[in-house]
């Protein structure tokens, strides 16, 4: 793992903050100034002794990293992590979690759809309920198309039916977690990560926090349809073997149909009532061929994940980590 550090002050690593706020960023130069202003204002108003703001640059192609470096150069509480390339939202978030030091960890996206001002209320719920996780559960989703809202609702309902872990519906990665949850999460080695599902798998006491999600502050969504589908596949294959059972069921059904067709063929041959032509033959071949490819595709998806996991490659690569340098302490005369 290549690693270089700028403005590094080792004393910062010894000053453990009470709360770490982890924010993965990808092409967020339009949002970063307002994000920094609102998050720091919310954290300064929170009843905590100290905090660190961890910004993870996930291979941005704009000036996001330059802006992050400027923020951390002027604020000792900001840590900027520059990944070697674009790893994706979940691995960028993982990198930030691995570098967090707080007793509590707040995870929030950079688009400001999840209001950072809710941190006080989330901390109050955590204290009142004695919870290890307070996760944001959306009541309203402003600024999103009907297709995204409908597809998200369908996905969470389907995931709830097939997953072997109870994953709350209508939730994202916006959540407040204790250190033991974060440490357990950091110890999990999955390459294809669905962090909200992994947190649910860990267990302990987890409570919802209902809120209204705002529209994106600036720019456009970083989750087009292609990435949404990939994310859905990661979630389903990571927490359910139902697709494999579905493949087995499809194989059993088509096997039964094949036996019936064989019986029909033998009866037709005995009665000299054979069907001439290729239509029925081609139809049967296409039917069984498509089912076979479907089953092989599902098995290949799981097998491919096992293959990639077996390589043991690091989850992320870091190019730079920036801290602000505090002025040296004055020595008594």
135 and 157: one domain? yes
Q: What are phi and psi of 36, to 5 degrees?
A: -60, -45
Alpha-helix runs per DSSP H in the chain:
11-14, 32-45, 64-74, 89-98, 119-129, 146-162, 179-186, 195-202, 225-239, 242-270, 279-310
Residue 71 lies in a domain: yes
Residue 332 lies in a domain: no
Alpha carbons 127 and 129: distance in angstroms, whole number: 6
Alpha carbons 161 and 241: distance in angstroms, whole number: 12
174 and 210: one domain? yes
pTM: 0.69
Q: Are 112 and 213 in contact (CB under 8 A)?
A: no
Q: What are phi and psi of 212, to 5 degrees?
A: -100, 125
Count the residues in the chain: 333
Alpha carbons 97 and 110: distance in angstroms, whole number: 15
175 and 33: one domain? yes
Please name the residues in contact with 289: beta carbons below 8 A apart, sequence gap of 6 or more: none
Low-confidence ranges of the chain (pLDDT < 50): 1-14, 327-333
Alpha-helix runs per DSSP H in 25-75:
32-45, 64-74
For the segment 215-258, what is each residue's pLDDT rounded down to a tens digit? 665 656 655 566 666 666 666 666 666 666 666 666 667 667 66
Residue 103 lies in a domain: yes
73 and 179: one domain? yes
Question: How many CB atoms lie under 10 A from the CB of residue 284?
Answer: 14
16 and 51: one domain? yes
Residue 120 lies in a domain: yes
259 and 182: one domain? no
Alpha carbons 177 and 142: distance in angstroms, whole number: 25
Residue 126 lies in a domain: yes
52 and 183: one domain? yes
129 and 270: one domain? no
210 and 255: one domain? no
Give rounded-to-5 percent helix, strand, coil for the chain: 50, 15, 35
- pLDDT computed for residue 179 by the predictor: 93
- pLDDT computed for residue 331 by the predictor: 41
168 and 77: one domain? yes
Angstrom CA distances, 326 to 7, 10, 11, 60, 74, stand at: 9, 10, 9, 28, 9
Please name the residues in contact with 235: beta carbons below 8 A apart, sequence gap of 6 or more: 155, 159, 163, 167, 194, 197
Residue 163 lies in a domain: yes
- pLDDT computed for residue 330 by the predictor: 46
Residue 196 lies in a domain: yes
Q: What is the dihedral of CA 182, 109, 92, 86, to 10 degrees?
A: 170
Q: Are 183 and 92 in contact (CB under 8 A)?
A: no
Q: How many domains does the chain have?
A: 2
Identify the CA nearest to 88 among candidates 223, 197, 200, 221.
223
Residue 330 lies in a domain: no
List the CATH number of the domain containing 188.
3.90.550.10
For the segment 128-172, what is each residue's pLDDT rounded down to a tens digit? 999 999 998 887 766 666 666 666 667 666 666 666 677 787 788
Print burial letters for 249-268: b (CB count within 10 Å at least 16), e (below 16): eeeeebeeeeeeeeeeeeee
- pLDDT computed for residue 163 by the predictor: 62
* Structural domain of 65: 4-224+315-323
170 and 282: one domain? no
217 and 251: one domain? no
């Amino acid at each position: 793992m290549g690693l270089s550090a700028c403005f590094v002050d080792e004393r910062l690593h010894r000053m453990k903050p009470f709360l770490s706020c982890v924010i993965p960023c990808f092409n967020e130069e339009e949002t970063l100034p307002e994000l920094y202003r609102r998050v720091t204002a919310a954290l300064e108003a929170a009843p905590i002794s100290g905090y660190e703001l961890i910004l993870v640059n996930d291979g941005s192609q704009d000036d996001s990293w330059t802006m992050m470096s400027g923020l951390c150069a002027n604020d000792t509480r900001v840590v900027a992590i520059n990944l070697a390339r674009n790893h994706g939202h979940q691995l960028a978030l993982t990198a930030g979690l691995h570098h967090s030091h707080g007793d509590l960890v707040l995870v929030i996206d950079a688009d400001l759809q999840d209001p950072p001002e809710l941190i006080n209320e989330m901390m109050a719920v955590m204290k009142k309920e004695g919870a290890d996780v307070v996760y944001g559960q959306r009541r309203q989703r402003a600024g999103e198309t009907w297709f995204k809202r409908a597809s998200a609702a369908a996905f969470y309902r389907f995931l709830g039916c097939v997953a072997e872990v109870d994953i709350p519906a209508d939730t994202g990665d916006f959540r407040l977690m204790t250190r033991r949850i974060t440490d357990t999460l950091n110890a999990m080695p999955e390459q294809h990560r669905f962090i909200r599902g992994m947190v649910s798998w860990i267990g302990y006491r987890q409570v919802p926090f209902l809120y209204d999600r705002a529209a994106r502050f600036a720019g456009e969504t970083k989750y087009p349809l292609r990435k949404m589908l990939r994310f859905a596949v990661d979630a389903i294959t990571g927490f359910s073997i139902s697709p494999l059972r579905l493949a087995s069921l499809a194989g059993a059904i088509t096997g039964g149909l094949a036996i019936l067709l064989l019986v029909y063929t033998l009866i037709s041959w005995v009665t000299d009532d054979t069907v001439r032509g290729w239509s029925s033959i081609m139809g049967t071949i296409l039917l069984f061929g498509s089912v076979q490819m479907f089953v092989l595709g599902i098995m290949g998806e799981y097998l491919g994940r096992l293959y990639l996991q077996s390589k043991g490659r690091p989850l992320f690569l870091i190019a730079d980590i920036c801290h602000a340098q505090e002025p040296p302490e004055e020595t008594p005369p």
